[in-house]
Chain A
Amino acid sequence: MVALPSSAPGPATGSAALRVEAVSKSYGFTRALIDVSFSVGPGEIVGLLGPNGAGKSTAMKAVLGLVRPEAGRIAVFGQDVQSDPVAIRRQIGYVPETPSLYEFLTGAEYLDFVADMYDLPAETRRQRIPPFLAGLELAGHENSLISSYSQGMRQKIALIAGLLHHPRLLVLDEPLNGLDPRAARVVKDVVRDRATREGAGVLFSTHVLEIAQAMCDRIVILDHGSVLASGTVAALRERAGLAGSGLEEVFLALTGTGDLGDVVAALAR
């Protein structure tokens, strides 16, 4: 494992890191979330899976209070996200699906900007930022404008920004997008480390089911805005009646897209 900054408080105890209860959200006539409920415990990594447009990103934005559900309740460590959004966000680290970074800043300036947002003292940022840059092979690029970064470099900056303040809840929307294998491995290790050593809850969205299977303690599958299934991979296998199968087969079976023979045949023509 690559050595990256880590504090060592024990796993948090008490209320769930995240509790989503019967949440619904619509955009015009489109129902993005319908009565969605799930939870993430302290130190637990929960994978949020689903086809494109299933509502994963909306659910994650709702957790941060970026979108307001019409019904239901979302609580982070027992506190409603709408009650004090500033205090809630201080406890969350968020990596959006498509990071919209300020391209006219350098990577170092952006990370300093983020550190200012979380009131991190200068000493702390000097301790934490350089090892992150080195671990993700960004050292030497930090004084270049973000506009000149590749997609993977932007993703790395967004990941550092999300992890920098050691949040108690990590909300990661496709965090491994565009990363090279080494960086992806580093990120997976750091996330696992944050969960096990610091007790951070992790809500993790990905389309790469092998990663979800390897990393996540539990899986929540969303489809058309509703929770289709949730539980451990073993429990999902059992529910799909596919003992011994991988998560990919289970996912395709549960989302009703298991028989792809006709599609493949059509594309092969």
Chain B
Amino acid sequence: MELRKVRRLASVLIASQLRSGRSTSDPTSWLGRPAILAVADVGLFLVAFGALTAAIHGSTTSTAVWRSVVVGLLPLAPLAAVGVVLIAGTSFELMSSAKFASSDAANWMPILPREYVAASVTAIAFTYSPAIALVLGGIAPLAFAAGLGGAYVVAAVLSALALFEGALLVEMVRALSNRASSIGSGRRGTATVVLRAVLLIVVIVLLDLALNPLILIQFVNSLTGLPAIVGLVPLFWSSSALTSALGGHVLDAVAFVGAQVAFVALLAVVAGDLRKRYWVPVPVEVRLSEHRYAEGHPWLAGLGLSSSESAIVGKDLRGFVRRREMLPLLVIPIVLVVLLAVEGSGFGRFGLLIWVGWVAGFFGLLLAATSVGQERRGLQILFSFPVSARSVFRAKAAGALIPVLVGVVAMAVGVGLFFRFSVVDLVTGLVLALVAAVVLVLWGLVFASRYSDFQDRPRPQFVRPGPMIAATFSGIVILSAIVVPGAYAIAAPSAASVDFGLAATGIALAAGTIAFFLARSGFDRLFRELPF
């Protein structure tokens, strides 16, 4: 292995990560250079170190208290490192376009697969290292104040190891991701596409739930009580080593550290083998069922859409379930509903209604806001067809509303039955959710028509970052203004209910009307000239 090549390739991969999500790609900007990560590491470490040092000096807390805090925090550091890399790295890989996950850009050069793996892992680890620098910078003053400097150094080393452990797992996902369809036992057809989508959704949901900080803290607190189980999970061996060391069980600690190092070495071998196997990725050929050429979609035509509008909606719906970069949009409502099922019993009727309306509106906002940016360079195709801006507006609105409305009806009925709503509450709750969804879809289209991002990036963003933040915040304000008084009117029938109901209706009508005209004019403007 030639370290010079690894270092050079790693710096290119880091630069690629840094520049992938930015609107401007000025190659001379220092923000796009790998050195910025080292600056961020040092800067964040010093900021956290300084802040905590100042806090300790101004505090009268005893060393014993600091010691108990550090004993609780130190095992979290390596867990946080592997968690950050796994969640952020895996999400990135699952959302990115398939072509950016392969080694095509380098596999024709005189580079070995294991050199590529070393470079890729180094790049991933360094990309996410600033988060760990912040954590370690915050713990350092506490550890030294508690007289646990030695344990801190071990924790820092294990955290660095954990960064590479997480990076190796992400690299394995990256190598495998182009073969995701063939994982489904080589099956062909629609079932494979659905299976792939379900598998990826499950991975994201499990990662997001399993590596939730609150659950992690709960888990670390229970580390001492569950040594047998923890001992079987390699990802927790570093934390177990630190817990053992802090508890005075030096031999156990050494054994866990040894096992952790061996596990990382094993991962490196496996990652190298996987990359070697998929060094020249074979395009996955998914064959769908035989196609019978026919006009449009009769059920969409039944909704009053023209042939071309139906075709755009049909195309968008297919893309919704087939494109890997669309998966986060599917996952967000699923995660919200899962959380509702877990925590919903404590919400009360008022809270549940707000939650249902909020999920409906937020899902609609996301789908609509990203609906135009999804076209990417394909927008040029739409431009070249005999289809007007108004038609595209109607199609995009329908394309976002249909999955949202189906989801809203299913969710509202599910929630109503699960939490035993009355029929009146169920119907009015459903109406509230539908109204919220329609208004927020229109609001999302305002941003889609004006601020979409059509660049072909590794990390698709569909809408430019600033406007997306504005869309989210303004959307939440509008949603709250509709859903809160609406839910109150339904959940607490009283003389004031009518007033709250009228207020919600008035706000929905006003916001919907404004959004409709802004979105329509936005589409008119967008279709005046190709924006790239």
Contacts and interface: CB of A to CB of B under 8 A. Distances in A.
Interface of A: 61, 64-68, 85-90, 92, 94, 96, 98, 100-102, 104-106, 108-109, 111-122, 125-126, 129, 142-145, 147-148
Contacts of B295: 115-116, 120-122
A144 B287 contact: yes
Contact of B311 (A65, A113, A143): A113
A170 B530 CA distance: 20
Nearest to A106: B288
Contact of A143 (B291, B377, B380, B388): B291
A105 B318 contact: yes
23 contacts: A64-B384, A65-B383, A66-B380, A66-B383, A67-B529, A68-B529, A86-B388, A89-B385, A89-B387, A100-B378, A102-B378, A104-B319, A104-B323, A109-B315, A109-B318, A113-B311, A116-B296, A116-B310, A117-B307, A117-B387, A122-B293, A129-B293, A144-B287
A117 B311 contact: yes
Nearest to A126: B293
B293 A117 contact: no
B284 interface: yes
A120 B296 CA distance: 10
Interface string B387-407: 110000000000000000000
A108 B290 CA distance: 9
Given A66-B530, A68-B529, A86-B387, A112 B291 contact: yes
Contacts of A121: 295
Contacts of B467: none
Contacts, number: 112
Nearest to A121: B295
Given A102-B319, A119-B307, A148 B285 contact: yes
A96 B383 CA distance: 12
Given A108-B293, A117-B386, A143-B288, A100 B529 contact: no
A100 B293 contact: no
Nearest to B376: A100
A147 B308 CA distance: 23
A145 B381 CA distance: 18
Contacts of A122: 293-295
A101 B294 CA distance: 20
Interface residues of B, number: 39
Contact of A104 (B307, B308, B322, B528): B322
Interface of B: 98, 283-291, 293-296, 307-308, 310-311, 314-315, 318-319, 322-323, 376-381, 383-388, 528-530
Contacts of B384: 64, 66, 89, 92, 94, 96
B300 to A, nearest CB: 10
A100 B380 contact: yes
A68 B531 CA distance: 11
Contacts of A87: 386
A112 B286 contact: no
Contacts of B98: 147
A116 B528 CA distance: 22
Contacts of A61: 530
A124 to B, nearest CB: 9
A98 B377 CA distance: 10
A236 B511 CA distance: 63
Contacts of A118: 385-386
A115 B385 CA distance: 10
A119 B308 contact: yes
B286 A100 contact: no
B383 A100 contact: no
A58 to B, nearest CB: 10
Contact of B314 (A67, A113, A125): A113
